[in-house]
């Protein structure tokens, strides 16, 4: 077509558009009635079980104390109450600069301090006091991760180090002052060049016998302390982890108390501090970097419960083995992992409560001509996205409660088990949290991106959980190595397995039926048999592969590294079996009735979604293709059966309405023109 004819054609098309009949001449459009919000409590069936009882199962402890703290935060303007529609929500103002967020975090701490929220957090003792502290921390984390981390650094890391590593002189000097927030401590362990590999940190402490002081130095840039919470602005003191050199001989990692700011907030001589800068989340925490230039620390400020240096420079320790001494110095991190695991479950609960409520009231498309639009959660695909996550979250809630109870009643004999459980559950529950947040964000469409609706911003706030206080992948490798050690010890001693739930290894290998009916798939025995079969087989395969690498000349350490795929599968198998066993135990102690039936559905959903999501069941032949397909279909059936109880389950999570978001309620009114006057 030549250019002239092409131009003529374009002119004709434009003229046709311009000469179209006016809208007034066309037939009037038939307008559908405007959407309106129906509270799900009115449209959903009443709960068949007592919500308060399910909350007691999931929360586990200190329900009244939690509610008191929630009210305390709701009552103060410091927690940014904001009206949306006919409701008020409390959520941090993430539009503030990092400097503003840090300042308001400190004001919130002062508010909670004056209301005695932190009473007993450092000086208290006993299981009840520790569980109450954990409950309060979970509530604070539901409001703001920055606030919880800022508190955790001072009370749990710094305070925990003083308690665990210090002796009476340190306890008398620091514990009460820390609890009253007169001393704001931080925890200088991580370095630019070393995070998970704490043994490799490069900060050096040498002892000066003439002055009876330790001289602490940052010998190179990779040795600068990094990501130290509280260091950039507010911390007055720190625990310095460094290599201790006595007469040129390294005695390994030790911990020292040092003051880094004076009473006026000025950085002390021989200390340099810089800000880590803006982050993708947690901007209410002043993470800092620290360098030490011949910083002198009195001999008495070595935390000496594990080892000491006498005035003449003689090194003494009741623990002669360096590896065991190092393990003792890792003790405060165990509490942190317990805390992180439990907190992750609660953030998953927040996201699911919002997404489920929105999915019950947001409609899209109709499935019949002229029919009403369908609520999102009535679509099987939407149920598949959210309901298995609810089941997992409930199961993991039971596991987190078990871990907390185990920790607060710890004994020297249980320390190893606590380390393994806390490592596996910290990794698994934080990974689950990130997946849940992302799926809930997408399930809420564009509304999930709005900061006020919480889910999107929580992704940035909580992503760090996967790497701090132990990188998740490293923690899971530690779990599989510990299981390998148990396996080799049992083989060598010809003794039965004991502890960590491994007693099933002493029994004959479970036989999985070839024909899996719905009744079989939902039975506790089948589910535990299947997950135990996977665990025992993977443990045997892992041990065999490591042994084969060693037989071909590899060192044990390299053999373990080369077997990382089986190690990852084994750690996952151990953790998922552990969670199922704990959740089943919680189900078994309930009286017969609707709640027990619901827990049975949730338990079956948890077990079968584990099967659905792990290729090892097919890879190693634990299930046939037909059996795996049957398990997949059963998950879909369970979705349909759990759907009527979705609202009741998320309502039992115990999270006050004010800590959810506008889309969990009347999202039309919250976005109306009239609501702008409340902003």
Q: What is the dihedral of CA 133, 137, 138, 141, to 10 degrees?
A: 180
Burial of 311 (0-12, 13-18, 19+ CB in 10 A): exposed
User: Considering only CA atoms, which of 66, 92, 192 is closest in space to residue 461?
Assistant: 92
Both structure tokens of 178:
């820390």
| Residue 202 bears catalytic tag | no
Using the structure block, give the residue that is written with the tokens 């049992």. Answer: 490
In angstroms, rounded to a whole number, what is the distance separating the alpha carbons of residues 323 and 252? 9
| 220 three-class SS | coil
Q: Identify the helix (H) or strand (E) that includes residue 610.
A: helix 594-613
Residue burial 73-96, b: 16+ Cβ < 10 Å; e: rest: bbeeebbbebebbebebbbbebee
Long-range contacts at 270-274 (CB < 8 A, ≥ 24 apart): 270/294, 270/295, 270/296, 271/295, 273/231, 273/232, 274/232
Question: What residues form DSSP beta bridges with 83?
Answer: 88
In angstroms, rounded to a whole number, what is the distance separating the alpha carbons of residues 291 and 202? 12
In this structure, what are the phi and psi dihedrals at residue 274, rounded to the nearest 5 degrees? -130, 155
Q: Of residues 469, 535, 569, 587, which has the active-site annotation?
A: 469
Detail the residues annotated as belonging to a binding site.
Answer: 190, 229
Please say whether the beta carbons of 358 and 667 come within 8 A.
yes
In angstroms, rounded to a whole number, what is the distance separating the alpha carbons of residues 160 and 332? 6
Helical ranges in 271-366 per DSSP H: 322-329, 331-361
| 49 three-class SS | coil
In angstroms, rounded to a whole number, what is the distance separating the alpha carbons of residues 613 and 635? 11
Residues 6+ apart with CB under 8 A from 443: 355, 358, 359, 376, 382, 385, 386
End-to-end CA gap in the chain: 59
Please say whether the beta carbons of 131 and 120 come within 8 A.
no
Detail the residues annotated as belonging to a binding site for FAD.
Answer: 190, 229
In angstroms, rounded to a whole number, what is the distance separating the alpha carbons of residues 223 and 133? 34
| 89 three-class SS | strand
Please say whether the beta carbons of 288 and 261 come within 8 A.
no
Side-chain-side CA neighbours of 360 within 13 Å: the count stands at: 24
CA distance readout (Å), 439 to 400, 433, 638, 639, 649:
22, 10, 19, 16, 18
In angstroms, rounded to a whole number, what is the distance separating the alpha carbons of residues 351 and 453? 9
Known catalytic residues? 469
């Amino acid at each position: 077509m030549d250019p002239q004819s092409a131009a003529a054609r374009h002119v004709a098309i434009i003229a046709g558009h311009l000469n179209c009949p006016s809208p007034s001449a066309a037939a009037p459009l038939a307008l559908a009635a405007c959407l309106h919000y129906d509270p799900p409590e009115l449209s959903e069936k009443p709960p068949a079980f007592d919500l308060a009882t399910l909350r007691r199962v999931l929360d586990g402890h200190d329900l009244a104390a939690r509610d008191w703290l929630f009210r305390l935060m709701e009552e103060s303007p410091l927690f940014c109450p904001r009206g949306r529609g006919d409701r008020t929500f409390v959520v941090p103002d993430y539009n503030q600069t990092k400097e503003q967020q840090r300042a308001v975090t400190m004001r919130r701490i002062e508010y909670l301090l004056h209301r005695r929220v932190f009473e007993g957090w450092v000086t208290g003792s006993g299981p009840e006091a520790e569980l109450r502290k954990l409950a309060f921390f979970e509530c604070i984390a539901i409001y703001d991760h920055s606030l919880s981390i800022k508190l955790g650094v001072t009370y749990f890391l710094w305070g925990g180090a003083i308690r665990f590593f210090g002796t009476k002189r340190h306890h008398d000097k620091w514990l009460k002052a820390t609890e009253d927030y007169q001393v704001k401590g931080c925890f200088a362990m991580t370095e630019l060049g070393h995070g998970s590999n704490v043994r490799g940190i490069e900060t050096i402490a040498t002892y000066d016998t003439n002055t009876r002081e330790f001289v602490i130095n940052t010998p190179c840039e990779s040795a600068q302390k990094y990501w130290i919470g509280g260091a950039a602005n507010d911390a007055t003191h720190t625990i310095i982890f460094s290599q201790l050199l006595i007469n040129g001989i390294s005695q390994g990692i030790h911990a020292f108390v040092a003051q880094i700011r004076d009473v006026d907030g000025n950085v002390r001589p021989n200390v340099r501090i810089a800000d880590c800068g803006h982050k993708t989340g947690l901007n209410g925490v002043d993470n800092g970097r620290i360098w030490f230039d011949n910083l002198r620390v009195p001999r008495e400020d070595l935390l000496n419960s594990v080892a000491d240096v006498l005035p003449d420079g003689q090194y003494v320790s009741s623990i002669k083995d360096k590896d065991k001494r190092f393990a003792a110095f890792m003790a405060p991190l165990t509490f942190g992992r317990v805390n992180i695991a439990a907190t992750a479950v609660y953030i998953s609960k927040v996201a699911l409560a919002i997404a489920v409520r929105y999915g019950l009231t947001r409609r899209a498309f109709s499935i019949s001509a002229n029919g009403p639009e369908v609520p999102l959660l009535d679509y099987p695909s939407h149920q598949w996205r959210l309901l298995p996550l609810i089941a997992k979250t409930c199961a993991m809630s039971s596991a987190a409660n078990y871990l907390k109870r185990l920790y607060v009643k710890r004994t020297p004999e249980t320390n190893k088990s606590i380390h393994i459980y806390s490592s596996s559950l910290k990794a698994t529950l934080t990974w689950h949290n990130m997946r849940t947040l992302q799926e809930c964000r997408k399930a809420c469409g564009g509304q999930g991106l709005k900061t006020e609706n919480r889910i999107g911003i929580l992704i940035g706030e909580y992503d760090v959980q996967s790497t701090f206080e132990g990188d998740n992948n490293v923690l899971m490798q530690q779990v599989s190595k510990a299981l390998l050690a148990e396996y080799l010890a049992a083989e060598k001693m010809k003794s039965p397995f004991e502890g960590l739930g491994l007693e099933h290894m002493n029994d004959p290998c479970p036989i999985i039926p070839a024909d899996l009916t719905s009744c079989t798939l939902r039975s506790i025995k089948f589910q535990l048999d299947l997950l135990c079969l996977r665990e025992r087989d993977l443990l045997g395969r892992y041990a065999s592969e490591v042994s084969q690498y060693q037989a071909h000349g590899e060192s044990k350490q390299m053999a373990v590294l080369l077997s990382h795929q089986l190690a990852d599968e084994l750690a996952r198998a151990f953790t998922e079996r552990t969670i199922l066993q704990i959740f089943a135990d919680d189900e078994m102690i309930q009286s017969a009735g609707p709640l027990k039936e619901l827990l049975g559905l949730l338990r079956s959903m948890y077990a079968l979604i584990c099967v659905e999501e792990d290729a090892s069941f097919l890879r190693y032949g634990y299930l046939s293709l037909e059996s795996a397909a049957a398990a997949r279909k059963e998950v879909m059936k369970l979705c349909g059966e759990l759907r009527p109880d979705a609202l009741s389950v998320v309502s039992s999570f115990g999270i006050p309405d004010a800590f959810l978001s506008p889309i969990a309620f009347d999202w039309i009114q919250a976005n109306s023109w009239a609501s702008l006057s409340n902003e």
